Chain A
Amino acid sequence: MSARPLLQVEGLRTWFPIRRGLLRRTVGYVQAVDGVDLAIEEGMSLALVGESGCGKTTVGRSILCLERAREGRVWFGGVDLLRLPSQELRPYRSDLQIVFQDPMASLDPRMRVRDAIAEGMHSFGIGASESERTDRVAALLERVQLDPRQMWRYPHEFSGGQRQRLCIARALAVEPRLVICDEAVSALDVSIQAQILNLLGELQQDLGLTYLFITHDLGVVRYLADEVAVMYLGQIVERGGTERIFEDPRHPYTRGLLAAVPSVDPQRRSAAAQVLGDVPSPAHPPAGCRFHTRCPEAFDRCSEEAPELFAVEGGRSRCFLSE
C-alpha cells in the first residue's frame, strides 16, 4: 500500500452563480459542492452516494476539471490539478477518465466508433500511426467483449449496453489510472447492468484501475465499493468502509437512505419512508445542519449550528448525535 492515496481531494467547493437582470448580475450561488474531502488508494473503489441535487456529479466533473472549482485542492500524483494552467494539465488528463450515464449522449452520433475510441490516443500521441491505432482499437474492443469488426459502425447501430462498453473502451484507450463512473449503469436494464458490472470488476483486476463510482444505487455500491462516502446538499455526511456503512450507519440520512431501498426478499417488505419531505434547493441550503429539515431525529441544536464531520468508529459522520 503506497503512503499517499492516488487521489486526494481537500475542501472542494464548486459554486454556480445565479444571474438575474439585464446586466446579468450575480445574485447568489448554487452551492453544488461545498467543502468535500475524499481520498482513494490506488486499486481501490470509492462510491460517492447521494440523491439528485447532492452534488456528486459536480464533484466528479470538478476533479476532472470539466467544471471550474472555486476552492480546494485535488492532489493527483503529487500535483494539485486545480492549480495547473490548462497546458500543464493536459498530460494528466490521460490518467483520469470518465464514463457517463447516458449511453445515447456519450458518443458523437456522426463519428465512427473506431474514430471515437482513437480520438484520445490521437491527443496523447499513443500509437505511432493510424493503422497502429486501429490495431489498438481492435484490442480494446475485444477487451470489452465486443466484435472488433464492428469498429467501422456508427454509435446508433449498437444497443445501450454495447455503447456503454464502447465508452469504457474509449476511456481505457488512454491508459488511465483512475476511472470515474458517473451513474455508468443506471440507465441500463438489470440484465445488462450485471454484464457491465462484471466487466468493470474484471478490468479493475486486470489493469489495476482505481474507481470512483458516483451512483444513487445502493445495491451496486454494496457489491462494488471498498469505501463509501454519502453526500447530501453539497457535503459529505458520512464516510466509511462499505460493510460498516451498511451494517451500522450512523448518520440519520444514511439510515433513511438504507431504509428506503426496497428489498427483493419476499419475507421482508421493509421499505420505510423515514426521511421526510423534499430536498431543499441547493441555492438555499437550510441553516445549521443541512439535513435537519428532513431529519426524524432533529433537535434544537441542529437548526442553529452546522455539525462537522465527527470521527466515529470506522469512519466519520456529520451529525451531533455522533459527536
Chain B
Amino acid sequence: METHVVSNLVVALLLAGGVWTGVAIRRDRLWSEAARSLWRRRPIALIVVAVYLAVAVLDSIAWVGGGEGQADAVAAHEARSVVDRAFAGTREASFSAPLADAEFYGGRPLQRPGSHLFGTDILGRDVLYLTIKGARVALLIGGLTSMIAIPLALLLGVSAGYFGGRIDDVVFFVMSTLASMPGLLLLIALIMAMGRSTLSVCIALGVTSWVGLCRVTRGETFKLRELDYVQAARALGVSEARIIFRHLLPNLMHLVIITFVLMFSGLVLSEAILSWLGIGVDGSWGQMIDQARNELSRDPIIWWNISAAGVALFGLLLAVNFVGDALRDILDPRTLRENQ
C-alpha cells in the first residue's frame, strides 16, 4: 500500500481514537475532572499543543492529483498533503531573508516578494513550509515510539511487579542491562543495523526508552499489589487477569500518562541529536538545524532557517513540558484524595 494511503488511514484511526477517548473521559468523573483541571491550569500550553497537532494532521492527509500546471512536473504525480498544496509554487531559486523582496546573495528579485515569513533555504524552499512539515515528523517520532515503548514497559513492569519471583528476576536483569549501556551508542548501532528509515529510528528509540517507565510501573505494582482492595478482590475470587486489568492498570494510568508526556520531549530531542549525527529522520527539525549549521559561518550570516526550526522545536517541547508538569500535579493520587 502506498505510504500516503497508510498515512490517511492512520489519521482516520487517530481521529476515531481521539473521539473515543474524549467520550470515555466524559463518562468517567475522575478523568473529566482531571481534564477540566488541566484546562484551567495550562490553557495556553494546551492550545499550542493542539495547534501543532492540527498542523501535523494536515500534513498527514495526502492525495495524488490536482497539480497540473505546476512548475515541478514530478510533483503532479506524487501524493501531496494539504500543507504541500498550501505552499505549492512558493519555491524560489535560493536563499532569501524573511519577508525580503530579493535574493540574499545577488539581489535578484523573487517570484513572490515579501511573502516568505521565514525566508527561504539554499534550495529556495520556504522555511515556514519546512518548519510546518517538521511538526508531523516530531509528533510521529514521539507518538510512534511511545506506542512501541509503553506497551512493552507495561507488560514487563506489571508482570514483574505482580508475579514477582523468576519473572521479576528476568525483567530486572534485562532492565538493568539495558540501563547500563550507553544509550546513544546503542541507538546508533540499532539504526545502522536496521537501516535508516523512520520506522527503524522509532524502534530504536523505543527499545532504549522503555526502561524508565518499566521501572516505575514495576515499583508501583509492587505497592498496589499489597493494598487491601487487591487482597479483598483475591478473597472475592476475582481472577488474576481481572485483578490486573480492573484494579492495577487503571491505578497505573496516571503514571503512564505523565511518563508519556514527559518522555515525548526527550524522544524528540534524541532524534535531533541523531540528525546531527546524520542518522535521524528526514524532514525533522533536527535535520533542519543540522543542515543550517554550515550557513551560520557565512558572511553575512544566514540565521532564519536555524531559528525557525529551533523556535518550533522549543515551542512544542516547552508546551508539552508544561502540560506534563501540570498533569503530574493533577494526577498525583495524593492530590486526588485531598481534593475530596
A and B touch in the complex (CB under 8 A): yes
Query: Which residue of chain B has its CB nearest to the CB of A110?
Result: B250
Asked if B179 CB lies within 8 Å of chain A CBs, one says no
**Do B333 and A96 touch across chains, with their CB atoms under 8 A apart?**
no
Interface mask (B202-237 → A, CB under 8 Å = 1, otherwise 0): 000000000000000000000000011101111111
User: Interface centre among B231, B235, B239, B250, by most A CB within 10 Å?
Assistant: B235
> Which B residues lie within 8 Å of A107 (CB)?
229
**Do B29 and A154 touch across chains, with their CB atoms under 8 A apart?**
yes
**Do A157 and B340 touch across chains, with their CB atoms under 8 A apart?**
yes
**Do A119 and B238 touch across chains, with their CB atoms under 8 A apart?**
yes
**Do B231 and A174 touch across chains, with their CB atoms under 8 A apart?**
no
Give the size category of A's interface with B.
20 to 34
**Do A98 and B232 touch across chains, with their CB atoms under 8 A apart?**
yes
Q: CB within 8 A of B237: which of A93, A98, A105, A154?
A: A93
**Do A120 and B236 touch across chains, with their CB atoms under 8 A apart?**
yes
CB-based A-B contact count at 8 angstroms: 71
Query: Which residue of chain B has its CB nearest to the CB of A64?
Result: B235
**Do A120 and B234 touch across chains, with their CB atoms under 8 A apart?**
no
Query: Which residue of chain A has its CB nearest to the CB of B337?
Result: A156
> Which A residues lie within 8 Å of B159 (CB)?
none
Q: CB within 8 A of A108: which of B29, B229, B239, B336?
A: B229
**Do B227 and A156 touch across chains, with their CB atoms under 8 A apart?**
no
Please give the distance in Å from B174's CB to the nearest CB on chain A.
17
**Do A170 and B236 touch across chains, with their CB atoms under 8 A apart?**
yes
Asked if B246 CB lies within 8 Å of chain A CBs, one says yes
> Which A residues lie within 8 Å of B337 (CB)?
104, 109, 156
Query: Which residue of chain B has its CB nearest to the CB of A124?
Result: B237
Give the number of chain B interface residues (Cβ < 8 Å): 22
In chain A, positions 116-146 with a C-beta closer than 8 Å to chain B are 116, 119-120, 122-124
Q: CB within 8 A of B238: which of A106, A109, A123?
A: A123
> Which B residues lie within 8 Å of A96 (CB)?
235
Give CA–CA (A124, B238) in the complex, Å: 9
Please give the distance in Å from A86's CB to the nearest CB on chain B.
10
Judged by DSSP, the binding face of B is helix
> Which A residues lie within 8 Å of B229 (CB)?
105-108, 116
Q: CB within 8 A of A93: which of B228, B235, B246, B250?
A: B235
Interface mask (B295-328 → A, CB under 8 Å = 1, otherwise 0): 0000000000000000000000000000000000
Asked if B30 CB lies within 8 Å of chain A CBs, one says yes
Query: Which residue of chain B has its CB nearest to the CB of A67?
Result: B231
Please give the distance in Å from A85's CB to the nearest CB on chain B.
14
> Which B residues lie within 8 Å of A124 (CB)?
237
> Which B residues lie within 8 Å of A123 (CB)?
236-239
**Do B235 and A111 touch across chains, with their CB atoms under 8 A apart?**
no
Q: CB within 8 A of A106: which of B228, B237, B246, B251?
A: B228
Give CA–CA (A110, B34) in the complex, Å: 13
**Given A109-B251, A109-B333, A110-B251, A98-B30 contact (CB < 8 Å):** no
> Which B residues lie within 8 Å of A157 (CB)?
340
Asked if A235 CB lies within 8 Å of chain B CBs, one says no
**Do A66 and B231 touch across chains, with their CB atoms under 8 A apart?**
yes
Interface mask (B67-83 → A, CB under 8 Å = 1, otherwise 0): 00000000000000000
User: Interface centre among A104, A105, A110, by most B CB within 10 Å?
Assistant: A110
Please give the distance in Å from B230's CB to the nearest CB on chain A.
8
**Do B235 and A119 touch across chains, with their CB atoms under 8 A apart?**
no
**Do B30 and A119 touch across chains, with their CB atoms under 8 A apart?**
no
Asked if A14 CB lies within 8 Å of chain B CBs, one says no
Q: CB within 8 A of A154: which of B30, B228, B247?
A: B30
Asked if A90 CB lies within 8 Å of chain B CBs, one says yes
The 10 listed contacts between A and B (C-beta, < 8 Å) are A61-B231, A93-B237, A94-B236, A105-B229, A106-B229, A106-B232, A119-B236, A119-B246, A120-B238, A123-B238
Residues in B lying within 8 Å of A, measured CB to CB: 29-30, 227-229, 231-239, 246-247, 250-251, 333, 336-337, 340
Residues in A lying within 8 Å of B, measured CB to CB: 61, 64, 66, 90, 93-94, 96-98, 100-102, 104-111, 116, 119-120, 122-124, 154, 156-157, 167, 170, 174
